[in-house]
């Protein structure tokens, strides 16, 4: 028996101002949104090639509670392709598509009538029978830990799989050397490792975007596309699980390249800092990549000499360039009033350039999107 385990496609996700070139498919679409759809298409292709007994998506299928019509259409197209190939699919709701209020309709209701597709989103243990396999899914909810504790394997089935979406606390030192995994994300739930000691044959997790094997029957499969700079070095893809076993293997797929550059201003001499940074960006061959340039040990005075427009110009063929100045005397910097542009653009510059040690890239993006809605 073969299981195709994937998660965190985040259909509808978009960021940065780069659009798909006019001579390419999806011309004019936000480049990162197109990347996400392409990753979903690759997952579907790989699943059809693998011919699994079941395709499992472990949460955050969509990026938000109310995704765009385009995101919904692309999701349905992929699921129909799987159905037409004779593959049964199980799609679990994660924290991103789950409404905070029960009165809000769930986007998964639009997927319920697709043949051979089971969508699990009510927050309680739900079961799907596939021959001698029983899949128990527990979708995201405010009391996820309690609901997971109520789920148990059924000895009447040869194989039992648990599917859920959340952070694991107190995981111990796992196969990949992970001592404790905890994300800090809005509307997320942290689950104690003790909840997963029942005799499940396999536990398919979603939420953490890096492939992580926590137990010999339990793993995060990774996301199929990079969504933040913290994933720069993380291979992207899915997991193939085989029974008897379980034997499981992470399979890589192509994803947008993120690169992390650093320059230590403490070692800077009398040459132009702008020229030094431009040289570093050029050497990284930024075309088609997302680039993060961190400038360490930077004084306000030296930062004031940097021509940011020149840096952006040399990275014009990159999907995006984020400049992070690590100021040694202050965590903020002044924006010259002579160069102030539209409020939405200035706020994006602020979010991208001001050091925020306690806020990760996803939270920055959430803040930026909400601010753009207000300022627009």
**What pLDDT band is residue 65 in, cutting at 50, 70 and 90?**
very high
Give 253's contacts (C-beta < 8 A, 6+ positions apart): 39, 42, 43, 46, 224, 236, 237, 238
| CB contact set of 229 (below 8 Å; sequence gap of 6+) | 258, 260, 290, 292, 322, 361
Q: How many CB atoms lie within 10 A of CB 184?
A: 12
* Vertex 355: Cα angle to 299 and 33 (nearest 5): 135
Whether residue 233 is found in the same domain as residue 287? no
Question: Is pLDDT at 177 greater than 80 in this prediction?
Answer: no
| 52 and 77 co-located in one domain | yes
DSSP structural state of residue 174: -
pLDDT digits (tens, 9 = 90+) for 5-45: 999 999 999 999 999 999 998 999 999 999 999 999 999 99
Helix locations, 126-267, DSSP H: 144-150
Cα separation values, 173 from 51, 149, 176, 179, Å: 33, 22, 8, 4
Q: Which of 217, 252, 287 is the last residue of a domain?
A: 252
Query: What are 296-312's pLDDT values in tens digits?
Result: 999 999 999 999 999 99
Q: Identify the CATH number of the domain in which residue 115 sits.
A: 3.60.21.10
Predicted TM-score (pTM) of this structure: 0.83
Cα-atom radius of gyration of the chain, to the nearest Å?
22
Per-residue pLDDT at 172: 44
Of 252, 279, 296, the one marking the end of a domain is 252
Query: First vs last Cα of the chain: how many Å apart?
Result: 52
CA distance 215 to 225: 24
Contacts of 182 (CB under 8 A, 6+ apart): 167, 168, 169, 190
pLDDT by residue (tens digit) across 328-342? 864 444 444 344 566
Residues 302, 213, single domain; the answer is no
Number of H helices, E strands in the chain: 8, 17
275 and 243 fall within a common domain: no
pLDDT of res. 63: 97
User: Could you tell me the residue range of the domain that residue 279 belongs to?
Assistant: 258-375
CB 228 within 8 A of CB 361: yes
For 145, residues 6+ apart whose C-beta sits below 8 A from its C-beta are 189, 190, 191, 192, 195
**258-264: strand order across its sheet:** 258-264, 290-298, 320-327
Same domain? For 277 and 343 the reply is yes
Q: Is the pLDDT of residue 182 over 70?
A: no
Q: Indicate the number of domains in the chain.
A: 2
pLDDT at 374: 60
Q: Answer yes or no: do 189 and 295 share one domain.
A: no
**Which of 31-35, 226-230, 267-271, 351-355 is predicted most confidently?**
31-35
Question: Tokens 């809000």 sit at which residue?
Answer: 104
C-beta separation of 178 from 171 below 8 A? yes
Nearest to 188 by CA among 168, 217, 212, 172: 168
Q: What is the DSSP letter of 13?
A: -
Vertex 350, ends 284 and 303: CA angle to 5°? Answer: 60
Q: Does residue 242 sit in the same domain as residue 305?
A: no
Q: What is the pLDDT of residue 271?
A: 83
Residues 117 and 246 in one domain: yes
Give burial (CB, 10 Å; 0-12/13-18/19+) of 271: exposed
3-state secondary structure (DSSP) of residue 35: helix
Rounded distance between C-alpha atoms, residue 105 and residue 107, angstroms? 7
- The SS3 call for residue 60 is coil
pLDDT at 218: 96
Q: What is the pLDDT averaged over residues 157-176?
A: 77
Place of tokens 């040459």: 271
What are the Cα distances from residue 192, in Å, to 18, 60, 207, 212, 301?
Answer: 40, 20, 15, 16, 48
Let me know whether 160 and 262 are in one domain: no
What digits encode the pLDDT tens for the residues 68-119?
999 999 999 999 999 999 999 999 999 999 998 777 789 999 999 999 999 9
Q: Residue 79: which H helix or E strand, with range?
A: helix 69-84
pLDDT of amino acid 330: 44
Same domain, yes or no: 271 and 237 = no
Same domain, 54 and 194: yes
The reply to whether 129 and 200 lie within a common domain is yes
The rounded distance, in Å, linking the Cα atoms of 32 and 319 is 8
Does residue 372 carry a pLDDT above 80? no
Q: Which 3 state secondary structure label does DSSP give 358?
A: coil
């Amino acid at each position: 028996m073969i299981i195709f385990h994937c998660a965190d496609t985040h259909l509808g996700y978009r960021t940065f101002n780069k659009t798909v070139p006019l001579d390419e498919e999806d011309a004019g679409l936000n480049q990162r949104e197109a990347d996400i759809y392409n990753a979903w298409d690759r997952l579907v292709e790989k699943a059809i090639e693998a011919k699994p007994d079941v395709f499992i998506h472990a949460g955050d299928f969509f990026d938000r509670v109310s995704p765009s019509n385009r995101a919904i259409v692309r999701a349905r197209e992929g699921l129909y392709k799987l159905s037409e190939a004779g593959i049964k699919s199980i799609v679990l709701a994660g924290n991103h598509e789950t409404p905070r209020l029960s009165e809000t309709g769930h986007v998964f209701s639009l997927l319920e009538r697709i043949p051979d597709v089971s969508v699990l989103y009510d927050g309680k243990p739900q079961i799907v029978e596939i021959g001698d396999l029983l899949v128990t899914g527990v979708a995201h909810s405010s009391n996820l830990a309690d609901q997971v504790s109520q789920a148990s394997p059924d000895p009447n089935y040869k194989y039992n799989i648990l599917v859920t979406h959340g952070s694991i606390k107190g995981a111990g030192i796992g196969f990949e050397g992970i001592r404790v995994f905890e994300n800090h994300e809005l509307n997320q739930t942290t689950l104690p490792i003790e909840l997963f000691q029942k005799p499940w044959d396999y536990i398919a997790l979603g939420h953490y975007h890096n492939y992580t094997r926590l137990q010999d029957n339990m793993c995060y499969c990774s996301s199929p596309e990079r969504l933040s700079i913290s994933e720069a070095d993380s291979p992207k893809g899915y997991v193939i699980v085989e029974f008897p076993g379980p034997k499981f293997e992470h399979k890589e797929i192509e994803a947008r390249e993120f690169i992390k550059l650093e320059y230590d201003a403490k070692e800077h001499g009398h040459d132009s800092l702008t020229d030094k940074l431009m040289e570093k960006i050029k050497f990284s061959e930024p075309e088609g990549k997302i680039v993060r340039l961190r400038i360490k040990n930077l004084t306000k005075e030296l930062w004031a000499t940097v021509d940011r427009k020149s840096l952006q110009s040399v990275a014009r063929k990159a999907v995006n360039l984020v400049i992070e100045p690590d100021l040694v005397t202050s965590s903020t910097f002044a924006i010259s009033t002579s160069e102030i542009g539209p409020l939405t653009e200035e706020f994006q510059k602020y979010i991208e350039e001001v050091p925020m040690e306690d806020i990760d890239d996803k939270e920055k993006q959430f803040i930026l999107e909400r601010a753009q809605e207000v300022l627009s």
